[in-house]
């Protein structure tokens, strides 16, 4: 109490003095703010006047040279705030010149992060949140922002599984959230588990066209591809339930909050960032061409000793008619598809203003031609924000962004490119020419593709301080995305029928959030923050496609009009073609901290969703979090070595309503007439389940952070468990129900894991050398807890993925390959029948065939010999980065780590399949690098590839021969930069000038035999037609005026 | 002191609280076990009727219904149909098993015999991994055969963490059949009958069954009458139970021997998988390995589990036409011995040119 009085008296005195008009002597303080290490001036630093008992009042902002000038009382304390620098408080003490150097925030503790739509200092955050500043993301030109997050955050697993410009890889936070596998074979895909993105306070669905799986119908451009990375101020990645709970049901897979830059300087700042980058095609597969190819093929056919096969040679002109000039070629087709491309990107931003009114405009242009011809991505974007505080109580901010993404998709759907990957022609076929038609080629190169995504995003945010400590705010946003695609396929590429494909889609998202916040600190010790808000969203989607063929010629690209002659399909695709979702949410948050030492957070949110099962409309997400900043305890008060240290705990539940409207509400068809009345009846394929519950994700998170020796060593550690209950799963029904299947909530999944982030700064912060090394890693294990109907295991559609209770959720289900039979005598013999091992219903195995494990020991290889083999889910993911500066020089490096993942090298499987079809007209891949069986007695890794007529199925796709460890360590990018000394720049009136060169994807260390262990599907299948991830070299320039 | 205790208590309370907090996240994980479907079943439970005297593998067509392999099958509770113990089912007998694969390309009897070994094994066994049943070469002196009602047994299926017993398989072995085709009924052991057309199209006679060759072609016994298969009977006779030879003999209508050399179109070296051919005026003898055929493998000499022999002769027919006459027999012999297969022609075939 005494202490309290002592502190209160000066405050009261001050207030009294103020009220009496007796002010302390005013002084005008001038000075400069510089960065401590680099000694560069910092423009845009907020200068705040500390007021006892109230929030610090912003009074100035440093200009382009870091200078400021304020008039304050002589005894005032000034606070200097700048993002990613430590907030510094300086007492004026009647000085008139103040030179302040801000230390880069080594400890990252004082910086604020945005959690649950609120800005909080990191000290009071109880959840697991990681912040990345825009500065770390600048130097690499990318078409999709998400790529830059790869390897940066422990537990955020981003895989760049396609190199197609403008497309998005896969991302997931903390292991699997869903295990439903749809489709089969190469096209099997895992339900996407992308986190929710919140861009400047507005939730945005980053998925685009994912409902179609690999059969992407439209442009498939993610909104994230339309955000210029240069415009990003910061990214906050939220992993646990407590941090995400206020984002409602859509945050159940984690949340990534993106904040774009704002104006901060009185003097307008013009920033230019430009990049010239060169993309190099990957090394191509070595192929066999010309006479060698023909010889190989014919030798293989002759080796069958089968009259019928040999006879077929004569019926296959490109094999038999070798003297015909038409077939006497040796064309390297692959080379024709791939190219080295020169690309560039430019970004200009103008920002300025002060605390009262500030603005920012950003213009961005990005163009990238893909390494596969006829593919590419262009981005045009303009965005603008204005913040206006007409008086200290009212704050208005508005934002408008317009983006246009233009894509060229070639013959693939963008994620994959069929032409260049899968269907490369035989070298013997006539070379590239329009009229000597080679269908594979014509279809990918002469296809005319015009694909646009227009994206308009806007918001208006109004905040009003009704009375001290109580604020009202409302945020309304409207996003509109229009997807257009027009594709023309010339006659020669489509069986002499010119075809057109059109896609037109629109998606709008109207969103409002209104909140009441109460924020007050008593006695400098007790801080209470309370907030209640409501959220409402309306999302409308409508997509149409038209697919017509039989056009008149290659010059008329439509419209064809309606006629059965032209039309094959047109209309709204039943899967994801039309939807309208209304959702409302109510949330409350209460947090309390005692002297920033003990923090407790309580959140509650309820979401109603029109997609939810009729009887289960509301999803409720409660959560709780606590934090103990033990460095503030008395016994550590004098521990100078300790910067901060804390323990965190959080627990929460997120409910995720189904995203499948048919699952809960059913599907009805028009089914003919009854008594002259049109009859509408349930679609019998799928039974609605009105009792469908939202999926429930329950998370526990235990965290520990510590930083010692002025940020020279920092540790963040999180342990978590994440249980998904009521997981949506297809359940097949007995035919007596009249329905084929329904969706139920019977499956549940458990994830647990550990995340560690380690930061080391080998040099003191006062040293000229600034070097930050950080390493992060996450270990995640998933265990399937239950399956529908108490089943112990379930298979995917094509029976190659198995889900087993008690084990990891997804496993490959394969034939076990155990080598090659050296000769016939090596094949096991049934002692009873005296017969060799054989495939069911097929011939006996022989020397050179694959040795598969006969699990059931009946000397017959069949489905009973399939075994659980490996898991396509990575166990360990992580990344590393190094940031080194010395004077004007900088050297940055970052990379990604992934361990313990089993891939299916289907690229090799398909490549072998092509070699094994001598009559096929696909390219003949050189396999001389493989250790394969050639003669009796050979001990080889691969079975005899030339024995194509055999029934042994030695090269079947789903076997462990093609399952490989997909662990890798990848360097994402290396950047060397140089900033020119300001003394020189002043002559040219520039503030900063930085040049840099970046190599992207320079090297990947992996034992995987395929081209790239990363460019595989979510299910770990390396498709032959994957769009390769290219290596690129870029030269960049940043100028600031 | 009291204060200290109090502090300790407070401390431990916090400690307990923290422990509880940490344990709250722990979850009892389901047991790691395989799946064994309740619907996993054998398509056939009654009745298994293996023929004694030969080793056979009976595919039980176990349908796993998605159960996780590897599965382990075992026979439980084998008993006679009346419920008495049946130890004879598992009594070790001396049988031959293949060690290496029989290819049909072996060039001596020794080479074939080197691929098989004598082992001691029970009559009844279930294949451990697949549930197929193995019936070994046991005599009816050991195993009760039809008309006895036979045996019952259960099969236990296990995989990791699961166990199921499928009950009441019925096994009713059949008595030995030394060769096939066989003149006697499998069950009654009475002579089978056949109907033969009477000469001159006067209906048919029912007579005791004899074995006839198949695929008769261009065999004449007069200038213009072709052999019907019923005009040739085949007799299997065994002389010495430990022998390993096979002799083909041919008899004319008066039971006089026909010189095998008259069947001049016969590929004697590729007739059966036998060795050391000894041809006399009365027969052709080979050393062979028993059973004939040795396995179900399709070889030059056998297909579909039967040895195929074809005899032929060539002559000039009426009008100078070349007639390649032939007849075949598909047969199997399950018991070792010095066997003779005799083709008795009820009419004398014409071997001379017309």
Residues in chain B: 354
CB-nearest to B101 from A836, A856, A857 is: A836
Assess whether B164 and B185 both reside in one domain. Answer: no
Plot region of B142 (φ>0 → left; ψ -120 to 50 → alpha; else → beta)? alpha
Alpha carbon of B247: minimum distance to chain A alpha carbons (Å): 25
Is the same domain home to B167 and B137? yes
Question: In sequence order, what are the residues at sequence separation of 6 or more whose Cβ sits closer than 8 angstroms to the Cβ of residue A1015?
Answer: A160, A161, A162, A163, A1022, A1026, A1027, A1028, A1029
pLDDT tens-digit series, residues A631-647: 888 888 788 888 888 89
Across the interface, do B97 and A832 touch by the CB < 8 Å criterion? yes
When the pLDDT of each residue in chain A is averaged and rounded to a whole number, the result is 83
Whose CA is closest to A457, among A501, A511, A414?
A: A511
Q: Is A97 exposed, middle or buried (0-12, 13-18, 19+ CB in 10 A)?
A: exposed
Query: ipTM score of the complex?
Result: 0.86
Looking at residue A746, its pLDDT comes to 80
CA of B152: how far to CAs of A694, B40, B75, in Å?
53, 20, 10
Q: What is the pLDDT of residues B190-235, one digit of tens each?
A: 999 998 877 777 788 898 999 999 999 999 998 888 898 888 999 9
Q: Of B55, B101, B130, which has the smallest distance from its Cβ to A829's Cβ?
A: B101
Burial pattern A620-654, b for ≥16 Cβ within 10 A else e, equals ebbbbbbbbbbbbeeeeeeeeeebbbbbbbbbbbb
Q: Is the peptide bond before A997 cis (omega within 30 degrees of 0)?
A: no
Residues B250, B272: Cα–Cα separation, whole Å: 16
Which residues pair with residue B332 across a beta bridge?
A: B180
3-state DSSP assignment of residue A143: coil
Is B30–A791 a contact, with Cβ atoms under 8 angstroms apart?
A: no
Residues A472-487: what's their mean pLDDT?
90
Whether B293 and B237 share a structural domain: yes
Task: Report the pLDDT value the prediction gives residue A55, as an integer from 0 to 100.
Answer: 62
Domain boundary among B137, B171, B205: B171
Please give the residue that has the higher pLDDT: either A779 or A1026.
A779
* 8 A C-beta contact, residue A119 and residue A110: no
DSSP reduced 3-state for A421: helix
State which of B171, B194, B218 marks the end of a domain: B171
Distance from CA of B162 to the nearest CA of A (A): 11
pLDDT tens digits for range B303-320: 888 999 999 999 998 888
The region of weakest confidence among A612-626, A748-762, B267-281 is A612-626
Burial class (CB in 10 A: 0-12, 13-18, 19+), A1017: buried
Residue B315 lies in a domain: yes
Is A792's CB within 8 Å of B22's CB? no
d(CA A358, CA A263): 5
pLDDT given for residue A552 in this prediction: 86
Residues in CB range of A21: below 8 A, 6 or more apart? none
For A65-80, what is each residue's pLDDT tens digit?
A: 778 888 888 778 888 8
Contacting residues of B for A856, CB less than 8 Å apart: 69-71, 127, 129-130
Q: Does residue A721 have a pLDDT over 80?
A: yes
- B66, B116, B129 member nearest A855 (Cβ): B129
Same domain, B186 and B165: no
Residues B102, B154 within the same domain: yes
Q: What is the mean pLDDT of residues A465-484?
A: 88
Q: Does B17 touch chain A (CB under 8 A)?
A: no
Q: Which residue of B has its CA nearest to A651?
A: B25
pLDDT single digits (tens) A365-375: 999 998 888 88
Residue A856 to residue B69, Cβ atoms within 8 A: yes
More confident residue, A200 or A187: A200
Q: Which residue from A minimizes the CA distance to B296?
A: A833
- Is B321 in the same domain as B190? yes
pLDDT for position A18: 40
Name chain A contacts of B68, Cβ cutoff 8 Å: 792-793, 804, 868
* pLDDT at residue A104 in the model: 63
3-class secondary-structure state, position A243: helix
For the stretch A832-853, pLDDT in tens is: 988 899 888 888 898 889 999 9
Chain A positions touching B22 (Cβ under 8 A) are 702
Structure-token pair, residue A383 = 């965005």
Spatial separation of the C-alpha atoms in residues A341 and B230, rounded to whole Å: 85
Domain architecture of chain A: domains with CATH: 22-102 (2.60.40.10), 145-280+340-807+968-1040 (2.40.170.20), 290-329 (no CATH)
Whether residue A834 and residue B295 make contact (CB cut-off 8 A), yes or no, is: yes
Between chains, do B57 and A832 touch, taking CB under 8 Å as contact? yes
With pLDDT > 90 as the criterion, what percentage of chain A qualifies?
A: 16
Same domain, yes or no, for B197 and B326?
yes
pLDDT band at A83 (very low <50, low <70, confident <90, very high): low
| Helix (H) or strand (E) run with residue A665 in it | helix A661-665
Supply the pLDDT for residue A107.
47
Are both B188 and B119 inside the same structural domain? no
B19-42 per-residue burial string, b: 16 or more CB within 10 A, e: under 16: eeeeeebeeeebeebbbbbeebbb
Is the Cβ–Cβ distance between A454 and A485 less than 8 Å? Answer: no
Residue among B32, B37, B101 with most chain A CBs within 10 A, to mutate: B101
Looking at the structure, tell me whether residues B251 and B154 fall in a common domain: no
Model confidence band, residue A1 (pLDDT cutoffs 50, 70, 90)? very low
Both tokens of residue A465? 């301080």
pLDDT band at A920 (very low <50, low <70, confident <90, very high): confident
Looking at the domain assignment, is residue B350 inside a domain? Answer: no
A138 sits in the region (left: phi over 0; alpha: psi -120 to 50; else beta) called: alpha
Q: Which of A394, A104, A102, A132 is nearest to A259 (CA)?
A: A132
Distance CA A914, CA A971 (A): 33
The contacts of residue A801 (CB under 8 Å, 6+ apart) are A181, A188, A795, A810, A811, A812, A813, A872, A1019
Among A13-27, A740-754, A1005-1019, the least confident range: A13-27
Chain A residues whose CB is inside 8 A of the B101 CB are 824-825, 827, 829, 834-836, 844
Q: Which of residues 832-861 of A touch B (CB under 8 A)?
A: 832-836, 844, 854-858, 860
Give B43→chain A minimum CA distance, Å: 16
The span from the CA of B327 to the CA of B309, in Å, is 8
- Higher pLDDT among residues A742 and A616, named by residue: A742
**Which of B272, B296, B291, B289 has its CA nearest to residue B335?**
B291
β-strands B322-333, B337-345 pairing: unpaired
pLDDT number for residue B229: 86
Which residues have C-beta within 8 Å of that of residue A383, sequence separation ≥ 6? Answer: A231, A260, A361, A362, A399, A400, A401, A402, A403, A457
Does residue B287 share a domain with residue B206? yes
Residue B189: name the closest of B146, B243, B131 by CA. B146
pLDDT of residue B332: 94
**CB distance A858–B129 less than 8 Å?**
yes
State the pLDDT at residue A21.
40
Cross-chain Cβ contact A834/B116 below 8 Å: yes
Tell me: do B149 and B230 sit in the same domain. Answer: no
Residues from chain B that touch A868, judged by Cβ atoms under 8 A, are 68
**pLDDT score of A8:** 43
Q: Do B24 and A651 touch (CB under 8 A)?
A: yes
CB contact under 8 A, A831 and B98: yes
A444 three-class SS? helix
Q: Are residues B153 and B202 in the same domain?
A: no
Per-residue pLDDT for A109 more than 70? no
Q: Higher pLDDT residue, A395 or A415?
A: A395
Band of residue A53 on the pLDDT scale cut at 50, 70, 90: low
Residue-level pLDDT at A215: 52
Contacts of B70 in chain A (CB under 8 A): 855-856
The pair of structure tokens assigned to A333 is 């087709």
The tally of domains found in chain B comes to 2
Q: pLDDT-based confidence at A20, cuts 50/70/90?
A: very low
Work out whether the CA dihedral A558, A563, A566, A569 comes out positive or negative.
positive
User: In Å, how far is A829's CA from the nearest CA of chain B?
Assistant: 6
Q: Is A300 helix (H, G, I), strand (E, B) or coil?
A: helix
The H-or-E segment that residue A908 falls in is helix A906-915
Please state whether the predicted TM-score (pTM) of the whole model is above 0.90.
no
pLDDT for A575 equals: 67
Question: Could you give the CA distance from residue A985 to residue A763 in angstroms, rounded to a whole number?
Answer: 29
Rounded-to-integer distance, Cα B189 and Cα B193, Å: 12
Name the band, by pLDDT with cuts 50, 70 and 90, for residue A439. Answer: low
Q: How many CA atoms lie within 13 A of B21 on its CB side?
A: 18
Spatial distance between the Cα atoms of A503 and A493, rounded to a whole number of angstroms: 20
Query: Cβ of A807 under 8 Å from any chain B Cβ?
Result: yes
Instruction: Give B 31-50 residues with CB within 8 A of chain A.
Output: 31-35
Q: Is residue B259 part of a domain?
A: yes
CB A260 within 8 A of CB A230: no
The alpha carbon of B137 is separated from its chain's Cα centroid by a whole number of angstroms, namely 10
Contacts of A752 in chain B (CB under 8 A): 25
pLDDT in tens, A663-712: 777 788 888 888 888 888 888 778 888 888 888 888 899 999 888 888 88
- What pLDDT shows up at residue A15? 41
Last residue of a domain, one of B146, B171, B196: B171
Closest among A572, A583, A577, A580 to A617, alpha carbons compared: A583
In this predicted structure, the answer to whether residue A262 has a pLDDT above a threshold of 90 is: no
CA nearest A799 in B: which residue?
A: B66
Domain with B65, as residue range(s), is 41-171
Q: Which residue of B has its CA nearest to A649?
A: B21
What do you get for the CA distance between the two ends of chain B, in Å? 134
Output the pLDDT for position A67. Answer: 81
Q: Which of A34-38, A125-129, A825-829, A1033-1037 has the lowest mean pLDDT?
A: A34-38
A830 — contact with chain B (CB < 8 Å)?
yes
pLDDT, greater one: A125 or B281: B281
All residues of chain A having their beta carbon less than 8 Å from the beta carbon of residue B159 are none
Residue A166: phi and psi, rounded to 5, are 85, -5
> Is the Cβ pair A856, B130 closer than 8 Å?
yes
Say which CATH number the domain at B89 has: 2.60.40
Spell out the residues 6+ positions from residue A862 whose beta carbon is closer than 8 angstroms to its own.
A839, A840
Cβ within 8 Å, pair A834-B57: no
* H or E stretch covering A19: helix A2-19
Q: What's the pLDDT tens digit per position in B151-182?
A: 999 999 998 888 999 999 999 999 999 998 99
The residues facing A546 across adjacent strands are A502, A570
- Bridge partners, A232 (sequence order): A260
Q: Which of A786, A832, A867 sits opposite B55 (nearest CB)?
A: A832
Q: How far is A720 from chain B (nearest CA, A)?
A: 8
Structure confidence by residue, pLDDT tens digits, A953-994: 888 888 999 999 999 999 999 999 998 887 888 888 888 888
Nearest CB neighbour to A700, from listed B24, B66, B296? B24
What is the secondary structure of B39-103 as a DSSP string? T-EES--S-B-PBTTS-EEE---EE-TTPPSP-EEEEEEEEETTS-B-GGGG--EEEEEESS---
The arithmetic mean of pLDDT across residues A223-228, rounded, is 83
């Amino acid at each position: 109490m005494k202490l309290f009085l002592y502190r209160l008296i000066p405050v009261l005195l001050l207030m009294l003095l103020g009220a009496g008009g007796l002010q302390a002597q005013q002084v005008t303080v001038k000075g400069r703010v510089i960065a401590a290490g680099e000694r560069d001036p910092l423009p845009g630093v907020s200068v705040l006047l500390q007021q006892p008992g109230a929030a610090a009042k912003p009074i100035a902002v440093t200009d382009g040279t870091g200078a400021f000038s304020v008039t304050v009382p002589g005894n005032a304390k000034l606070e200097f705030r700048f993002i990613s620098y430590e907030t510094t408080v300086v007492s004026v003490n009647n000085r008139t010149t103040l030179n302040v150097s801000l230390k880069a925030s080594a400890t990252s503790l004082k910086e604020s992060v945005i959690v649950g739509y609120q800005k909080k200092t990191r000290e009071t955050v109880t959840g697991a949140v990681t912040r990345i500043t825009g500065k770390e993301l600048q130097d690499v030109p990318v078409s999709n922002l998400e790529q830059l997050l790869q390897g940066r955050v422990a537990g955020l697993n981003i895989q760049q599984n396609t190199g197609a410009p403008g497309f998005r890889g896969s991302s997931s936070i903390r292991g699997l959230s869903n295990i439903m596998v749809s489709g089969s074979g190469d096209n099997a895909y895992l339900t996407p588990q992308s986190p929710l993105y919140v861009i400047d306070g507005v939730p945005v669905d980053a998925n685009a066209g994912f409902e179609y799986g690999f059969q992407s119908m439209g442009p498939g451009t993610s909104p994230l591809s339309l955000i210029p990375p240069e415009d990003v101020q910061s990214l906050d990645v939220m992993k646990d339930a407590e941090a995400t709970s206020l984002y409602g049901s859509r945050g159940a897979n984690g949340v990534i909050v993106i904040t774009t830059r704002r104006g901060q300087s009185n003097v307008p700042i013009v920033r230019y960032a430009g990049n010239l980058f060169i993309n190099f095609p990957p090394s191509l597969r070595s192929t066999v061409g010309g006479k060698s190819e023909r010889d190989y093929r014919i030798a293989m056919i002759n080796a069958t000793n089968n009259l019928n096969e040999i006879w077929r040679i004569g019926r296959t002109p490109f094999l038999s008619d070798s003297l015909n000039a038409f077939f006497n070629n040796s064309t390297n087709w692959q080379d024709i598809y791939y190219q080295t491309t020169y690309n560039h990107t430019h970004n200009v931003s103008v920002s300025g203003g002060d605390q009262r009114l500030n603005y920012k405009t950003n213009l961005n242009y990005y163009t990238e031609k893909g390494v596969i011809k006829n593919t590419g991505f262009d981005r045009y974007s303009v965005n603008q924000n204005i913040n206006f505080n007409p008086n200290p109580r009212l704050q208005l901010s508005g934002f408008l962004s317009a983006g246009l993404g233009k894509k060229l998709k070639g013959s693939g759907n963008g994620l994959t490119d069929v032409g260049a990957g899968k269907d490369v022609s035989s070298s013997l076929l006539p070379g590239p020419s329009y009229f000597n038609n080679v269908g594979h080629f014509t279809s990918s190169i002469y296809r005319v593709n015009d694909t646009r995504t227009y994206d308009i995003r806007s918001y208006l945010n109004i905040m009003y301080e009704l009375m001290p400590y109580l604020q009202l705010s409302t945020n309304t946003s409207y996003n509109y995305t229009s997807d257009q695609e027009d594709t023309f396929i010339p006659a020669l590429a489509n069986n002499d029928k010119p075809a057109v494909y059109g896609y037109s889609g629109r998606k709008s998202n109207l969103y409002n959030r209104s909140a009441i916040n109460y924020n007050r600190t008593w006695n400098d010790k007790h801080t209470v923050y309370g907030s209640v808000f409501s959220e409402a969203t309306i999302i409308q989607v409508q997509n149409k496609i038209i697919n017509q063929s039989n056009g008149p010629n290659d010059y008329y690209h439509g419209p064809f009009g309606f006629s059965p002659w032209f039309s094959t399909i047109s209309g709204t695709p039943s899967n994801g073609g039309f939807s309208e979702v209304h959702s409302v949410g109510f949330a409350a948050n209460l947090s309390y901290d005692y002297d920033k030492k003990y923090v407790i957070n309580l959140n509650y949110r309820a979401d109603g969703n029109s997609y939810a099962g009729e009887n289960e409309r509301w999803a409720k997400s409660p959560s709780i979090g606590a934090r103990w900043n033990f460095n503030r305890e008395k016994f550590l008060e004098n521990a100078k070595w300790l910067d901060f240290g804390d323990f965190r705990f959080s627990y929460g539940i997120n409910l995720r309503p189904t995203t499948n409207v048919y699952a809960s509400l059913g599907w009805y068809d028009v089914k003919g007439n009854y008594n002259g009345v049109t009859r509408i009846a349930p679609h019998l394929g799928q039974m609605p389940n009105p009792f469908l519950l939202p999926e429930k994700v329950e998370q526990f998170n235990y965290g520990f952070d510590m930083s010692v020796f002025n940020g020279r060593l920092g540790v963040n550690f999180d342990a978590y468990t994440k249980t998904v209950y009521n997981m949506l799963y297809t359940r097949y029904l007995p035919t007596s129900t009249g329905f084929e299947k329904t969706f139920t909530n019977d499956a549940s999944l458990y994830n647990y894991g550990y995340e560690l982030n380690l930061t080391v700064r080998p040099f003191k912060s006062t040293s000229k050398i600034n070097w930050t090394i950080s390493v992060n890693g996450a270990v995640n294990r998933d265990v399937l807890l239950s399956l529908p109907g108490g089943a112990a295991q379930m298979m995917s559609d094509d029976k190659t993925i198995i889900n087993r209770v008690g084990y990891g959720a997804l496993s490959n289900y394969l034939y076990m390959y155990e080598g090659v039979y050296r000769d016939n005598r090596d094949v096991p013999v049934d002692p009873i029948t005296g017969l060799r091992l054989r495939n069911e219903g097929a011939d006996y195995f022989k020397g050179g065939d694959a040795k598969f494990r006969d699990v059931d020991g009946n000397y017959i290889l069949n489905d009973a010999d399939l075994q659980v083999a490996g898991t396509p889910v990575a166990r360990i993911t992580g990344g590393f980065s190094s940031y080194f500066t010395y004077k004007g020089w900088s050297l940055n490096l970052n990379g990604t780590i992934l361990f313990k993942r089993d891939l299916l090298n289907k690229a090799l499987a398909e490549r072998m399949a092509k070699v094994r079809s001598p009559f096929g007209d696909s390219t003949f891949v050189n396999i001389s690098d493989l250790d394969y069986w050639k003669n009796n007695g050979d001990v080889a890794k691969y079975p005899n590839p030339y024995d194509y007529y055999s029934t042994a199925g030695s090269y079947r796709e789903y076997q462990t021969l093609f399952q490989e460890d997909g662990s890798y360590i990848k360097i994402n990018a290396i950047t060397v930069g140089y900033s020119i000394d300001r003394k020189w720049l002043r002559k040219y009136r520039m503030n900063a000038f930085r040049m840099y060169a970046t190599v992207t994807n320079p090297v990947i260390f992996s034992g995987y035999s395929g081209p790239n262990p990363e460019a595989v599907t979510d299910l770990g299948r390396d498709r032959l037609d994957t769009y390769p991830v290219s290596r690129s070299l870029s030269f960049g320039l940043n100028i600031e005026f | 002191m009291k204060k200290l205790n109090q502090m300790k208590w407070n401390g431990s309370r916090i400690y307990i609280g923290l422990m509880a907090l940490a344990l709250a996240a722990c979850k009892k994980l389901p047991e790691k076990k395989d799946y064994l479907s309740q619907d996993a079943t054998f398509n056939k439970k009654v009745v298994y009727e293996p023929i004694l005297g030969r080793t056979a593998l009976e595919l039980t067509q176990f349908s796993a219904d998605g159960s996780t392999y590897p599965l382990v099958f075992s026979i439980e509770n084998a008993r006679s149909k009346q419920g008495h113990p049946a130890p004879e089912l598992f009594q070790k007998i001396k049988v031959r098993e293949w060690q290496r694969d029989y290819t049909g390309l072996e060039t001596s009897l020794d080479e074939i015999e080197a691929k098989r070994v004598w082992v001691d094994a029970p009559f009844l066994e279930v294949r451990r991994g697949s549930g197929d049943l193995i019936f070994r070469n046991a005599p009816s002196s050991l195993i009760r055969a039809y008309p006895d009602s036979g045996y019952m047994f259960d099969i236990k299926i296990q995989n990791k963490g699961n166990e199921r017993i499928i009950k009441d398989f019925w096994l009713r072995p059949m008595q030995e059949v030394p060769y096939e085709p066989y003149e006697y009924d499998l069950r009654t052991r009475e002579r089978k009958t056949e109907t033969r057309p009477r000469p001159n199209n006067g209906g048919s006679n029912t007579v005791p069954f004899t074995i006839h060759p198949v695929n008769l072609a261009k065999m004449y016994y007069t200038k213009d009458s072709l052999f019907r298969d019923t005009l040739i009977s085949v007799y299997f006779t065994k002389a010495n139970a430990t022998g390993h030879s096979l002799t083909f003999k041919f008899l004319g209508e008066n039971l006089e021997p026909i010189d095998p050399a008259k069947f001049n179109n016969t590929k004697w070296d590729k007739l059966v998988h036998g060795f050391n051919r000894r041809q006399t005026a009365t027969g052709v003898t080979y050393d062979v390995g028993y059973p004939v055929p040795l396995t179900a493998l399709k070889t030059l000499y056998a297909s579909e589990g039967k040895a195929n022999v074809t005899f032929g002769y060539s002559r000039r027919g009426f009008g100078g036409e070349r007639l390649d006459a032939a007849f075949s027999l598909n047969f199997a012999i399950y018991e070792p011995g010095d066997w003779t297969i005799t083709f008795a022609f009820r009419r004398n075939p014409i071997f001379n040119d017309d």
